[in-house]
Amino acid sequence: MRVETAQAHYDVVIVGGGLVGASFACMLADQLAATPVKILVTEAIESLQASSSFDARTTALSYGSQQLYARLGLWEALAAYATPIHKIHVSDRGHFGAARIDQAEVGVEALGYVAENQHLGVVLTQALQDVEAIDYLCPAKITQMLPTPEGMQVQLQGRTGAAQSISAGLVVLADGGKSSLSASAGIRQQVTEYEQSAIIANVAFSDEHRNIAYERFTDSGPLAVLPLRELQGESRGALIWTVSQDDAKAMMELQDAQFLEALQARFGHRLGMFTKIGARACYPLRLTVANEQVRPGLVLLGNVAHSLHPVAGQGLNLALRDADVLAHTLLRAYTQGQQFGQMSVLQNYLAAQSDDQLLTTRFSHYTTRLFSNKHPALVWARKFGLFSIDLVPLFKRSFARQAMGLVTPKKHSA
């Protein structure tokens, strides 16, 4: 429910109504639907367009994430804008060898879905306003948080600029990778610079994409073209092109025609000719992992907890699995009469998700490293790797399960 002012106390305050904060709020409200628990979501940025989560990017939602949204009753609205991925085609430019993962072999309807972040934003923001247990305050920026024996005291600055103090049993920090609140709480981030940037844009091409997601590893970094819905009869895809930081600046300055020419040369003709490109945006890439994710009364979720290279489309999908397990953990705490902010409760959550976080972070980090290195031994290794994926069904299935977000053996064990 959209509110103009906040109450003095909430059981859970979620800082940030971006992709992760909004999704978690819906999951928590769903889990705690039979309880009187009250949730506040504060989002600093009013416009969906300007918000860092709901910008011009597209997101590859794994099959696992689709299942989560379906359980919340949100998939019907999201599906209207999402494009199913039926095949993933992974290749290494200049090297023989390609891996193909097919939905039919894995036995699912789709390997994943491609959704435009703005559409995700429309659906999730509406859901925040529809759910009775959620108070959605926007624009409202949390400026300070202080631990108390009962949880946390937060200061917020609303539309009028007036400050308000709110107590919370638990604060869920989902304020993104540039979180000033975690920094001022003294939570440090381990940062690995990739010295790469991702250039993203929507592109049109002459051939049909046939619901194939292409991941092409080039000597400058991975290049992905994900299938999008047709628009005005044109075949479209979402381009995510990772290049060195030095190249990124020059490539952002290219005219559209020159950029498309460079893209065609790198990608080849699997989609025919590239004919059009929308607005380009550039994101510097680094791996950041917070050295603490839980404290009494506080838990970090989404990019503030871990922010990954977008190479295999894992960042949001991992955060949604975290959010799902956290929501289950809090339901269990409620039924056992435990406080949400109790350290043992939050440690249970972390223990249940730590393997998944480690595995997924390593998967995206080492894939990035392996495919961006030109050393001849690595070239052979990855050529062999691609053959292995294609030829060994068991390995292929485990690769597919990771990419589809179906890896969580310890899930819900908290």
Ligand X SMILES: Cc1cc2nc3c(=O)[nH]c(=O)nc-3n(C[C@H](O)[C@H](O)[C@H](O)COP(=O)(O)OP(=O)(O)OC[C@H]3O[C@@H](n4cnc5c(N)ncnc54)[C@H](O)[C@@H]3O)c2cc1C
Distances (CA, A) of 88 to 52, 137, 236, 368: 28, 40, 16, 17
In whole angstroms, the minimum distance from the beta carbon of 326 to ligand X comes to 13
Other beta carbons within 10 angstroms of residue 387's beta carbon come to 14
Smaller CB separation from ligand X, 51 or 83: 51
In whole angstroms, the minimum distance from the beta carbon of 45 to ligand X comes to 4
In whole angstroms, the minimum distance from the beta carbon of 17 to ligand X comes to 6
Instruction: Identify any residues that bridge with 99 across adjacent strands, giving them in sequence order.
Output: 90
Smaller CB separation from ligand X, 49 or 344: 49
In whole angstroms, the minimum distance from the beta carbon of 154 to ligand X comes to 9
In whole angstroms, the minimum distance from the beta carbon of 161 to ligand X comes to 14
Smaller CB separation from ligand X, 326 or 334: 326
Smaller CB separation from ligand X, 16 or 221: 16
Smaller CB separation from ligand X, 41 or 352: 41
Smaller CB separation from ligand X, 24 or 205: 24
In whole angstroms, the minimum distance from the beta carbon of 28 to ligand X comes to 15
In whole angstroms, the minimum distance from the beta carbon of 381 to ligand X comes to 25
In whole angstroms, the minimum distance from the beta carbon of 114 to ligand X comes to 8
Three-state helix/strand/coil letters over the chain: CECCCCCCEEEEEEECCCHHHHHHHHHHHHHCCCCCCCEEEECCCCCCCCCCCCCCCEEEEEHHHHHHHHHCCCHHHHHCCCEEECEEEEEECCCCCEEEEEHHHHCCCCCEEEEEHHHHHHHHHHHHHHCCCEEEECCCEEEEEEEECCEEEEEEECCCCCEEEEEEEEEEECCCCCCHHHHHCCCCEEEEEEEEEEEEEEEEECCCCCCEEEEEEECCEEEEEEEEEEECCEEEEEEEEEEEHHHHHHHHHCCHHHHHHHHHHHHCCCCCCEEEECCCEEEEEEEEEECCCEECCEEECHHHCEECCHHHCCHHHHHHHHHHHHHHHHHHHHHCCCCCCCHHHHHHHHHHHHHHHHHHHHHHHHHHHHHCCCCHHHHHHHHHHHHHHHHCHHHHHHHHHHHCCCCCCCCCCC
Smaller CB separation from ligand X, 306 or 334: 306
Smaller CB separation from ligand X, 27 or 319: 319
Smaller CB separation from ligand X, 294 or 334: 294
Q: Whole-angstrom Cα distance, residue 117 to residue 180?
A: 24
Smaller CB separation from ligand X, 106 or 305: 305
- Residue 100: burial class (beta carbons within 10 Å; 0-12, 13-18, 19+): middle
Q: Which two tokens stand for residue 405?
A: 């977000």
- Binding region for ligand X (CB under 6 A): 15-21, 42-45, 51-53, 57, 59-60, 141-142, 174-177, 181, 198, 200, 240, 283, 302-303, 310, 313-317, 319
In whole angstroms, the minimum distance from the beta carbon of 367 to ligand X comes to 14
In whole angstroms, the minimum distance from the beta carbon of 344 to ligand X comes to 25
